[in-house]
Structure 1
Amino acid sequence: MRTGLIDLEPLRTPAFRAAWIGGTAHGFGHQAATVAVLQQTWDLTRSPLWTGALGVATAVPMILVGPVGGVLADAVDRRVLIRLASAVQLFVAFALVAQMVSGVASVALLFGLVALLAAGTGLGAGARRTLPVRLLPTAQVPAGIALTVVSFQVSMLAGPAAAGALIAIWSPAAGYGLLVAMTAIALLATTWLPALPVGDAGTGRAPAGGWAFLLRRRTLRGSFATDLAACLLAFPVSLFPLVNELRYGGDPRVLGAFLSALAVGGLIVGLFSGALTRIRRAGVVQLVAAGTWGLAVAGFGTAGSLWAALACLVVAGAADSASVMVRGALVQMETPDVYRGRVSSAEIVVGIAGPELGNLRGGLVAALVSGPFALVSGGLAATAVVGWVALRNRALREYTLPGRS
C-alpha cells in the first residue's frame, strides 16, 4: 500500500542497500571528523580566522579534484574508482589519528590532511552520485535518491553529536577514530557492489564534452541555474552568528539551534518523501522548492521571536531537501550514462561553490548594510530569479520523470 512515508523499497535491492550503507557510513564519519577538525584547529590556534580557513582547505581540493573524478567516472569501472577513493580517505583517517596521538600535530599538517581527505572525497563523489540510477529500476530511482538525502540529514544530526560527546570525554582523536571506523565500513560495503562499466551498453567508452552536454540540455541548464540562484543569493549560514548576536544575545545554543533547524526540516521531508518521490513533474517541484527556500530565508531575516526564526529555518531546510531530492533524480534520469560521472561532478562543484560564494555574498552585503537586509534582499532576489527561470525555461517547467505510474 502506498503512503506518504519514506519509500524503503529500494533497500530490498542488495547492491543498492550496500551502496546506501556505505554512503551513510561515509557521511557519518565525515560529519564526525568535521567537529574534530574544528576542535583541534581551535585548540592549536585559538583563532576564528583559522577555523574559517578550514572551508577553503576543504572546498578548493573538492573543486579541483571533483571534475577529474567525474572524467574518470566516465572512463573506468565506477566500483573501482569508489574503492580507490575510499582507500585514500581511510589512509588519511589513520593519519589524522596518528598526528593527534603522536604529539606531532601542527596547523600546516592538519590542513594538509584535511585537503587530502577532501581530494579523496572529490575523486569518488561523481561515481557515488551515479549509483542509484545504475543499481535500481527506473521507477525506484527517485526513492533511492531520497534515501541518500535522508541518510545525509541523519548524519548531519548524529555525526557531530556523537563526535562532540566522545571528544568531550577524550580528545579530537576520538572523532578521527570514528572517521576510521566509518570509512572502513564504506570501503567494505563496496565488496557487495557489482562491476559498473561505463555506458548504457557497457561499452566502457565515454564521449568527450560532458560540460558541453550539460549546457546544451535545457532541462539540466535550468536545473543548475535554479540551484545556483538559491545558493548564491540566499545562503544564510555565514550570517547566523551576526543574527544571533543582534537578536538573541549571542547564545551559542541558539547558534547551534539555527543549524539544527535546517537539518530538522530536511529530515522531516525525508521521512515523508514517499509522496514527493512519486510526483512526476520534477521540474515544477524543484522550482517551487527553490522559490520557497528564498522566501523562508527572507522570513528568517525579518523574524522577531526565536521560535519564528527557527520555524523559517525548518521550512528552508525542508525546501532545500525537496529540491535536492528531485534535482538529483532529474539530473540522473536526464543524463545518458556515458556523461553521468562528469555531470554529477559538475553538480557537486555547484553544490560546494554555490554555498561558499553565497556565504561570501551575505557577509559582504551585511558589512555594507546589515545582516537582516542581506537575508531579506537575498531571499527575495533568489525567489525572483527562480521565477524568471521558470518563465524562460519551458523544458524544465514541463519536465516529467520517466517510468512513474
Structure 2
Amino acid sequence: MDTSDSTTTGTEPSSAHAPEAPPRRGWRRWAMDTRPLRIPAYRRLWTSTIVTAVGSQLTAVAVPKQIYDITGSSAWVGYASLAGLVPMVLFALWGGAVADTVDRRKLLLVTNTGIAVTSVLFWVQAVTSLDSVPVLMVLLALQQAFFGLNAPARTASIARLVPADQLPAANALGSTVTQTGLVAGPLLAGALIPVIGLPELYLIDALALCVTVWAVARLPALPPLGGAGSRRAGVREIAEGFRYIAGRKVLLLSFLADVIAMVCGMPRALFPQLAAETYASYGEGPALGLLYAAIPVGAVLGGLFSGTFSRARRHGWMVIGAVVAWGAAVAGCGLSGSLWWAVAFLAAAGVADMVSMVFRGAILLSAATDEMRGRMQGVFTVVVAGGPRLADVLHGTAGSVLGPRAAVAGGGLLVVVLMLGLAATVPALRRYRV
C-alpha cells in the first residue's frame, strides 16, 4: 500500500529535540511559532538565511541594472534572466540527486563557498569597469548553477534538524525571512546605488555569504541514511525521483497545486500595464511599486501571524484552501478599479501564498523518505522558479488580447476552478494529515 496517501507518514525520527514549550494562550497563539529556533543547528541555518536573503537581492538588482547601463536595452536584461534560469533548472535537478548521496552539510559548504566566490568575481568585474555583458551572463549562469546545487540540500536538511511536528513552523520561519528579503533587498539596493555604487553591492553580498559559510560549517554532519551514500547521482537517479513523485499521489498533487496557482494565477507580468493604464491616475511609478510589493508584504504578514496555521494537522486541506484563497484574491485584484483595493487583494494573496508554501514544504519533507528528499526539493526548486516565468508568458499574451484586468481576474478564477476540481476528483491531498 502507498503509505504516502494515508493519514500518517513514515519518515525516520528526527535526532533534534527542542525543549517543550508551554501551550501558548491569547494573542500569542496567533504569533509566529518560534519553537524551531530553540534547536541550535536550525537556529544557525535560519540566522544565515536572514543575512543572505537581503544580500542576494542586492546582487539580483545590481546585475540587471549593470546590464541595462551597458546596453540600454531591456531585451538584454531578459536574455540574462534566461541565462540564469537554464543552469539553475538543470543543476537543481542534478543537485537534488547529489543531496541524496552525500553529506548535505559538506555539499552546502561547497556550494555556498562557490556562490560567495562568484559574488567576489561580480565585484571584481564591476570595480575594474570591465563592462562586458558576456562576462556578466557567464557569472550569472555560474551563480545560478551553484544555487541550483545548494537549494535542494538546504531545504532537505531541515527535516533532519527539527522534529516532524515543527516542520510547518520551520517552513514559516524560513519563508518569512525570504519574503522579507524580497521587500527589503530591492529597497535597500535602490537606496545604496546612488550612494556607494554597484561594485559595493556585490561586495556586501559576498561578505554576507561568508556568514552563511560560517553558519553551515557549524552544522552537524548530515550523511545519507540507510547506506544511500553508495549510490551515484546520475540521470537514472534523477528519473527515479520523478517516478517516486508519480507513484505517490500526495507529492504529485502538492506540485500540481503550485503549478495551478503560479502558472494560472501569478499576474506580475501585467503590473506595468495595470500601472500605466488602469491606475495611471495614482501615478504610474508609485502604482507599479505598490503592485510589485503587495504580494511579498502580505506573505511577510502571514508569516508573522503564522502561529495558528503552523500547528494545523490537516496539511492537505491547508494547501487546498490556500490555493483557492490565492485564486479568489487574484480575481478580486483583477476586478478592482481602485488601486488600494487591488493592493489589498494582492496582499491577501500573499498571505495565502505563505500558507501554501508552508504546508507544501511540510508535505514534501514529511511524506518523502530521507533518501528522496533532495530530489523532491530539486523538483520543487524547478517548479517554484519556472512556474512564475511561464505565467509571465501566458498572462502577458492574455493581457494583450483581453486587457489586463480581464486577464488577471480570469486567471484567478481559473485557479479556483482547477484547484477545487483537482481536490474533488483526487482525494489523496485532502485526506493527507500529519
Which range, TM-score by smaller chain? over 0.9
Report the Cα distance in structure 1 between the residues aligned to 2:409 and 2:338, rounded to whole angstroms.
16
Question: Counterpart in 1 of 2:301?
Answer: 268
Aligned-partner Cα distance in 2 for 1:361–1:309? 20
Does residue 318 (structure 1) correspond to residue 343 (structure 2)? The answer is no
The 1:205/1:283 distance shift into structure 2, 3 A limit, reads farther
User: Are 2:100 and 2:228, in contact at CA under 8 Å, matched by a contact in 1?
Assistant: no
1:279 and 1:268 mapped to 2: Cα distance?
18
* SS of residue matched to 1:204: helix
Q: Does residue 84 of structure 2 align to residue 54 of structure 1?
A: no
2:303 maps to amino acid:
G
Report the Cα offset of residue 362 of structure 1. 0.4
Tell me the SS of whatever aligns to 1:28.
helix
2:208 & 2:80 partners in 1: Cα distance?
Answer: 22
Q: Which residue of 1 aligns with 2:273?
A: 242
How far does residue 52 in structure 1 lie from its aligned partner after superposition? 2.5
Q: For residues 148 and 55 of structure 2, what CA distance do their matches in structure 1 show?
A: 16
Give, in whole Å, the separation in 2 of the partners of 1:179 and 1:339: 32
Amino acid of the residue matched to residue 302 of structure 1?
L
1:268-293 deviation line (CA, Å, top 9, x unaligned):
11001110110101111111111111
Aligned to 2:70: 44
**Shift of the alpha carbon at 1:90?**
0.8
% identical equivalent positions: 36
1:161: Cα distance to partner? Answer: 1.9
Structure 1: 4+ residue segments shifted above 3 A: 205-208
For 2:386, the equivalent position in structure 1 comes to: 353
Instruction: Report SS of the residue matched to 2:102.
Output: coil
Instruction: Say if 2:316 and 2:429, in contact at 8 Å, map to a contact too.
Output: yes
Could you say if the C-alpha distance between residues 202 and 188 of structure 1 is closer, same or farther in structure 2, counting changes exceeding 3 Å?
farther
The reply to whether residue 367 of structure 1 matches residue 400 of structure 2 is: yes
TM-superposition CA deviations, 1:59-114 (whole Å, max 9, x none): 11111111010010011111111111111101110000000010112111111111
Aligned pair partner of 2:430 in 388, 392, 397: 397
Give the distance between the partners of 2:428 and 2:229, measured in 1 at CA: 30
Q: Please tell me whether the aligned partners of residues 100 and 172 of structure 1 are also in contact (alpha carbons under 8 angstroms).
A: yes
The Cα shift of 1:26 comes to 2.6
- 1:177-225 Cα shifts (integer Å, max 9, x gaps): 22111111111111211110112x4653559411101111010111111
**Greater mean alpha carbon deviation, residues 87-96 or residues 362-371:** 362-371
Q: Work out the CA distance in 2 between the residues paired with 1:46 and 1:251.
A: 21
Q: TM-score w.r.t. structure 1 length?
A: 0.96
Confirm or deny that 1:152 pairs with 2:178.
yes
**1:216 aligned to which of 247, 250, 260:** 247
What CA distance in whole angstroms lies between the structure 2 residues aligned with 1:178 and 1:163? 11
CA shift for structure 1 position 174: 2.0
3-state SS, counterpart of residue 304 of structure 1: coil
2:103 is matched with which residue? 77
Contact 2:322 2:352 in 1 (8 A): yes
Which of 218, 224, 229 in structure 2 is aligned with 1:204? 229
Opposite residue 392 of structure 2, the aligned amino acid is N
Q: State the SS of the aligned residue for 2:30.
A: coil
Q: Work out the CA distance in 1 between the residues paired with 2:399 and 2:166.
A: 44
For 2:399, the aligned partner's letter is A
Contact 1:206 1:339 in 2 (8 A): no
Once residues 94 and 288 of structure 1 are traced to their aligned partners in structure 2, the CA distance between those partners, rounded to angstroms, is 43
Match of 2:36 in 1: 10
Work out the CA distance in 2 between the residues paired with 1:170 and 1:288. Answer: 45
| Alignment correspondent of 1:122 | 148
Q: Distance in 1 between matches of 2:156 and 2:227?
A: 14
Aligned to 1:278: 311
CA shift in 2, pair 1:203/1:109, >3 Å:
closer
SS for the counterpart of 1:400 is coil
Match of 2:168 in 1: 142
Is the Cα–Cα contact under 8 Å of residues 16 and 131 in structure 1 kept in the other structure? Answer: no
How far residue 55 of structure 1 moved from its aligned partner, in angstroms, is: 2.4
2:200 match: 174
Cα RMSD after superposing both structures: 1.4
Relative to structure 1, the CA distance from residue 121 to residue 233 in structure 2 (aligned partners, 3 Å threshold; closer, same or farther) is same
Q: Are the equivalent residues in 2 in contact too, given 1:205–1:338 (CA < 8 A)?
A: no
- Which residue of 1 is the match for residue 261 of structure 2? 230
- Rounded to whole Å, the distance in 2 between the matches of 1:211 and 1:278 is 30
Paired residues of 1:35 and 1:175 also in contact (CA < 8 A): no
Deviations 1:333-364 (A, max 9, x none): 00000000001100110111111101110011
**Counterpart Cα distance in 2 of 1:244 and 1:378:** 18
Superposed displacement of residue 389, structure 1: 1.1
- In 2: Cα distance, 1:74 partner to 1:314 partner: 37
On the 8 A contact 1:42/1:48 being kept in 2, the answer is yes
Distance 1:247 1:378 in 2: 18
TM (norm. structure 2) is 0.90
Rounded to whole Å, the distance in 1 between the matches of 2:98 and 2:89 is 15
CA distance in 2, matches of 1:251, 1:54: 26
Aligned with 2:327 (options 294, 309, 325) = 294
Does the residue aligned with 1:373 lie in a helix, a strand or coil? helix
Deviates more, 1:172-181 or 1:277-286: 172-181
